[in-house]
Structure 1
């Protein structure tokens, strides 16, 4: 099984060999719960997300990735921030790709669907806002979620 390994400021991290624009989506339901997935490629919890394909806009990619990974259709409604720290490297064991972080984190409202695992996610669920940070997750994902939970008026730029 392919694995994703996140490195941060780690001298043992592989040198990046790609930069792929991607999106992550903090989607909420009517109760304010946050949609969380446990990806198939590691044991950490995360919000849905993935690469922006050629020919896609940022919001179209965000809606597509959320639906593919979670079974939830959402409507994009905001920006948490931009994340491009070159000290964060994501290594994929399946193909040797070492990707420098480059992600836009958006907010969304769920409009239909039920949390459903996919090939990319082995577990999907709504998590109450006050319990999200108790889940095991990579430090970069935790930072993104904490920025969302802080509810600042301006997006994070980093």
Structure 2
């Protein structure tokens, strides 16, 4: 897998040269499973989401990215947190090294049909008991843990 490499609290990480606002969504079903996609660029399971486009707000970004990456329509129901840890950088093949800046929303499905995109090899709802057995980056595990804790306070960090 090529195209992207995540570094997290890694002293050998390259220095960030960009900062791009992004949005992601925690979407659960009636059984408590969380919608995840297996990324084609890293092989890791991740929350659907991506970079904000000019002319949209972050909620619109989350809704658009989920539709593009999973085929599902969603409604934002809340905010899990703002994740901006400068110790998480993402290096891309084109030389961009992006510092994390992701607002993660809570959401529910309102329509659509589950489907993979060119960014994913698989998309499905996964029970939290399975998380330890699949490749998930530490920063996504942090968000999944915050969700599982059912915390009232937003994560700001």
Q: What TM-score bracket applies, with the shorter chain setting the length?
A: over 0.9
SS at structure 2 position matched to 1:122: strand
127-136 vs 105-114, which moves further: 127-136
Superposed CA offset, 1:17-70 (max 9, x none): 000000111012233321110011111100101001111111111010001001
Alignment partner, residue 126 of structure 1: 125
Alignment partner, residue 79 of structure 2: 79
Aligned residues: 157
TM value normalised by structure 2: 0.94
Whole-Å separation in 1 of the counterparts to 2:10 and 2:28: 33
| Mapping 1:77-116, distance limit 5 Å | 77-93=77-93, 95-116=94-115
Query: Does 1:23 find its partner at 2:20?
Result: no
Alignment partner, residue 144 of structure 2: 145
SS at structure 2 position matched to 1:16: coil
144-153 vs 131-140, which moves further: 131-140
Alignment root-mean-square deviation, CA: 1.4
- The answer to whether the 8 A contact 1:34-1:132 is kept is no
Whole-Å separation in 1 of the counterparts to 2:65 and 2:117: 11
Whole-Å separation in 2 of the counterparts to 1:107 and 1:144: 11
- The answer to whether the 8 A contact 1:75-1:111 is kept is yes
